[in-house]
Amino acid sequence: MQTSILEQDGNMVAILEGRLDAVAAQETEKAMQPLCECEGKDIIIDCTHLEYISSAGLRIFLRILQNAQGKGQQVFIKNINDTVRAVFAMTGFINIFKLI
């Protein structure tokens, strides 16, 4: 699992690649920490190359969302594949996030 963070057009962008499962969760959450620390910027989680997400991954996304909402920031999730979309749908989280 690879996680890169960059600033793009005034937004914080996290690019995820691989399988975000229970094994990768801890390391990924650590890598995504700058998203929780940033102020005044919207957050984009680019999932173009995210193959799979587990409950542990969902919890990371939820923590980022909760933190951002508290500071008036928005969180967008970009380009999720069908497998990830199905997980978001069956857990009821699909309309909690802004999918782009």
Partner 1 sequence: MGTIITLDAHGEELMEQYRQLLPTLEKLNDEAYNQLKKSLDEQGIYVTAIEHRVKSEKSLAGKLELKGAKYKSIDDITDLVGLRIITFYSDDVDKVAVLAQRLFDIDWKESVDKRKLHELNSFGYNSLHYICRLKTGGPRFELQMRTALQHVWSTIEHDTGYKGDVKIPREYKRQFGRLAGMMELMDEEFSRLRLSITEYRRQTLSLVKSGQLDDVPLSRDSFRNYLETNPFDRLNRRIASVNQAEIYPVSMMSYLRVLEILGMETLGDIQRFIDENSEDAFQLAVAQLAITDIDILASNTALQYLCLVHVLKKGGGRDGLKKLYDTINGESETNTMLADLMYQQAATLPFMHKE
* Cα(45)–Cα(83) distance, integer angstroms: 16
Query: Maximum CA pair distance of the chain?
Result: 33
- The reply to whether 91 sits near partner 1 by the rule CB under 8 A is yes
The residue among 6 and 96 lying less far from partner 1, judged by its C-beta, is 96
Stretch that binds partner 1, among 6-14, 26-34, 41-49, 80-88 (CB under 8 A): 80-88
Question: In angstroms, what is the minimal distance from the CB of 80 to partner 1?
Answer: 8
Question: In angstroms, what is the minimal distance from the CB of 79 to partner 1?
Answer: 10
Helix (H) or strand (E) holding 35: helix 33-37
Query: What are the Cα distances from residue 67, in Å, to 23, 60, 71, 84?
Result: 23, 11, 7, 22
Build a one-symbol-per-residue string for 3-42: x at contacts with partner 1 by CB under 8 A, - elsewhere.
----------------------------------------
Within 13 Å, how many C-alpha atoms sit on residue 63's CB side?
17
* Type of residue at 54: S
Residues that bind partner 1 (CB under 8 A): 54-55, 58-59, 62, 82, 85-87, 89-96, 99
